[in-house]
Amino acid sequence: MRARSTWRDVLRTPLGAAATVLLAAVLVLAVVAPPIWSARADAPDTGQILAGPSPAHWMGTDSLGRDILARVLVATRLSVELALAATGIGVLIGLLLGTAPLLLGARVGRLVLAAVNIAVAFPGLLLALFFAVIFGVGRTGALLAIGFAIAPGFARLTQTLTARVAGLDFAAAARIAGVGRFRLFLRHVLPNVGEPLVVNATIAAGNALLAFAGLSFLGLGVQPPGYDWGRLLGDGLGGIYVHPAAALAPGVAVVVAGLAFNLFGEALAKTIGPRGPLPAGRRRPQRPAPVPAASPPAGGETVLDVRDLRVAFPGPVTPVRGVDLTIRRGEAVGLVGESGSGKSLTALAVAQLVEEPGEVRAERLELLGTDLTAGPVRARRRLLGTSLAMVFQDPMTSFNPTMRVGRQLAEVARTHQGMNRRQALARAVDRLRAVRIPAAARRAGQFPHEFSGGMRQRAMIGMGLMGSPALVIADEPTTALDVTVQRRVLRLLADIRAADGVALLLISHDITVVGQVCDRVLVMYAGRVVEELTVAELRAGGRHPYTRALLAAVPDLTTDRHAPLAVIPGRPADPADPAPGCAFAPRCGFADERCARADPPLAVDGTGRRVACWHTERVARAADPATRPAADPADLAAADPVAGLAGPGPGPAPGPGNSDEREVRIGDQS
């Protein structure tokens, strides 16, 4: 059933349809051409020897006065037949060799594979020539030669595919159940590797056709009086000055037929693609949602000033919807929220690293008083390159694997500080030392894969310190690290901040980490800031239901390990489908129809904090155990993970209006 739909899918793409029509035409011609044109192709016309195109002979005639067009058409059958036969031989031998490890056992299999691997290293044409010598010049010899030349590649493919399938659970289960090797192969393995094998056989047929044309052209294939396209081409080439059609007509025929097979194979491969070799694509960059920022507390030199930052992608999707953010010198600001809340994208937008087709707009975007959205490009690049340091989430993939670490650091100084190679490298070693990398000089000469994860993250921080940064933006800097290493990296960030008065924007889904490092915290949900508060206030519990839910979801030592982990019910808002009203309403126990109607502004509430919620008073009341009604969903928000006092509440309450049963855990980060 799957097979039938595959064929239909092939026809549905333009490439597939064209390839199918072309291939069908070639195959039909192979069947009908000889009976129709054979007589004409073999009839000598002594009055018309080596004649050019004429109404009687559209492509002219050959040295015996035979019609070239008819000969080319008739040759279709032999050319296609030989190609298919050679492919058949190759596929059969390839299957036998490729399944040897499975059918004959490991030892014989290894020997066969070693031989196959050596043979695969040689180009097919060379193998074909070698076998052509052994099997002799002529049609049969060439047929066997090309078949044998196809075999090793096919054997390798078969072996790779079957090894993969045979290693899968169901095959192992069948083996344990006592299924014999042959049955295992026929019943369990072959059906699962069939499709890629068919695709490759189709492409191999195309190549066999071209190879046969090559051998016949050289005079090693079909011998007179027989003729295929290659033979006609070889015969025609000598007279190309007098009579080009004799060489061009069979040449065009070979190209068209070869393309038909190859394109059809490719269309087939594309249709069943996901089941074949791994796709080259990688996961899409995650698009976090936007944050509204707190108003700048008074005093202190402003390092970063962002007003109404918006990031949009075509779709249209607006994952960041109006974030205000101000960071002063030496200040540490945390940005928290679930995956997709817009926090990472906010950071990338601030750093001017959002690539097309993403679009960043802001009423104001200033670093150290310089507008990042306008002005001379060179000056902006230098400012960003030296005053802003980025630390990314995954230190394993954030270094260029083909460059030595020292050089990757030195590049910054070479580009922005005009240092020569030696000065820049010395600075790099010095910076590596500054981030406590032991034997920094030796380490600078190593490649990233020789560093441990924690060391790489420190080197990444060192890279940021090559200039004289006023702001370090660290996007989940510890998420990919071991807990013990996390602590060292956080301490390093704190020390840098203390020593040089560097401001820190720490992005994390881990509210505990943020609580340890930061002064001020912005909580983001669905592309907006929903609450801004100091760490002390965070410890006391947020005012926004989402903040409280985040806090509640953090387990600590007193958490009952037998109870299910606390979660926030429902799933994060979809930035592609923004609903009117508060984005958190579908997951919020306090939501009423006002929340569904209007999005609450980020406003100073009764206690002087900024929070975007219509119901802060009810939330505050619910958080107080004395006044809490028994069934109030605000049970969610009882914990204080920062102080490590209480456990989470008795479990999540389903948010009203949330039809989605799926629950997403905070901390289940990309």
Partner 1 sequence: MTTAAAEADRRAGLLDGPWPRFALRRLGRLLVSLWVLVTAAFLMIHLIPGDPVRAALGSTAPPSLVQARRELLGLNDPLWLQYLHYLRDLCAGDLGTSIISGLPVSQLIGDRLPATLQLAVLAFLVAVLVSIPLGLGMAVLTRNGRRRPAELVFTSTTGVLATVPEFLVGVGLVYVFGVRLAWVPVAGRAGPGSYVLPVLALALGPAMVLARIVRVETLAVLRADYLRTARAKRLPDRVVYLRHALPNALTATITLCGLLLGGMVAGTVLVENVFAWPGLGSTIVQSILAKDYPAVQGVVLVYGVGVLLVNLVVDVALALLDPRSTIREG
Q: What angle do CA 459, 443, 469 make, to 5 degrees?
A: 30
Distance CA 469, CA 638 (A): 39
CB of 505 to partner 1, least distance (A): 14
Q: For residues 190 and 248, which CB has a smaller minimum distance to partner 1 in the complex?
A: 248
- Residue reference for tokens 């947020």: 542
CB of 24 to partner 1, least distance (A): 18
What one-character-per-residue DSSP string does 553-619 give? Answer: T---TTS-TTSPPP-EEB----TTSPPSS-TTGGG-TT--HHHHH-PPP-EE-TTS-EE--TTHHHH
Per residue in 194-205, is it b (16+ CB within 10 Å) or e — as a string? ebbbbbbbbbbb
CB of 459 to partner 1, least distance (A): 11
CB of 389 to partner 1, least distance (A): 8
CB of 328 to partner 1, least distance (A): 23
Chain-centroid distance of CA 532 in Å reads 35
Cis amide leading into 225 (omega within 30): yes
Distance CA 509, CA 514 (A): 9
Task: List beta partners, residue 388.
Answer: 471
Q: Residue 65 corresponds to which amino acid? A: G
CB of 416 to partner 1, least distance (A): 7
Q: For residues 88 and 244, which CB has a smaller minimum distance to partner 1 in the complex?
A: 244
CB of 39 to partner 1, least distance (A): 28
- Give residues with Cβ within 8 angstroms of 360, minimum separation 6: 309, 310, 311, 349, 352, 354, 373
Q: For residues 121 and 374, which CB has a smaller minimum distance to partner 1 in the complex?
A: 121
CB of 128 to partner 1, least distance (A): 9
CB of 264 to partner 1, least distance (A): 12
Q: For residues 129 and 653, which CB has a smaller minimum distance to partner 1 in the complex?
A: 129
Alpha-carbon dihedral of residues 284, 285, 291, 294, nearest 10 degrees?
Answer: 170
Q: For residues 69 and 351, which CB has a smaller minimum distance to partner 1 in the complex?
A: 351
CB of 458 to partner 1, least distance (A): 15
CB of 259 to partner 1, least distance (A): 5
Q: Are 2 and 267 in contact (CB under 8 A)?
A: no
Chain-centroid distance of CA 280 in Å reads 6
CB of 476 to partner 1, least distance (A): 12
Q: For residues 123 and 297, which CB has a smaller minimum distance to partner 1 in the complex?
A: 123
Distance CA 571, CA 186 (A): 45
Six-digit token string for 582: 């508060």
Q: For residues 232 and 535, which CB has a smaller minimum distance to partner 1 in the complex?
A: 232
Q: Are 186 and 227 in contact (CB under 8 A)?
A: no
CB of 123 to partner 1, least distance (A): 4
Q: For residues 392 and 614, which CB has a smaller minimum distance to partner 1 in the complex?
A: 392
Distance CA 362, CA 372 (A): 10
Q: What angle do CA 56, 61, 64 make, to 5 degrees?
A: 125
- Give residues with Cβ within 8 angstroms of 545, minimum separation 6: 584, 588, 589, 590, 613, 615, 619, 634, 636, 637
328 backbone dihedrals φ, ψ, rounded to 5° = -100, 165
What one-character-per-residue DSSP string does 129-143 give? Answer: HHHHHHH-SSHHHHH
Q: What angle do CA 434, 437, 440 make, to 5 degrees?
A: 90
Q: For residues 236 and 515, which CB has a smaller minimum distance to partner 1 in the complex?
A: 236
Q: For residues 373 and 400, which CB has a smaller minimum distance to partner 1 in the complex?
A: 400
Distance CA 348, CA 355 (A): 9
Q: For residues 307 and 382, which CB has a smaller minimum distance to partner 1 in the complex?
A: 382
CB of 515 to partner 1, least distance (A): 27
Distance CA 512, CA 535 (A): 10
Q: Are 471 and 388 in contact (CB under 8 A)?
A: yes
Q: For residues 378 and 562, which CB has a smaller minimum distance to partner 1 in the complex?
A: 378
Q: For residues 66 and 243, which CB has a smaller minimum distance to partner 1 in the complex?
A: 243
Q: For residues 239 and 647, which CB has a smaller minimum distance to partner 1 in the complex?
A: 239
CB of 522 to partner 1, least distance (A): 22
Residues for the chain: how many in total? 670
Q: Are 33 and 66 in contact (CB under 8 A)?
A: no
Per residue in 490-510, is it b (16+ CB within 10 Å) or e — as a string? bebbeebbeeeebbbbbbbbb
Q: For residues 293 and 389, which CB has a smaller minimum distance to partner 1 in the complex?
A: 389
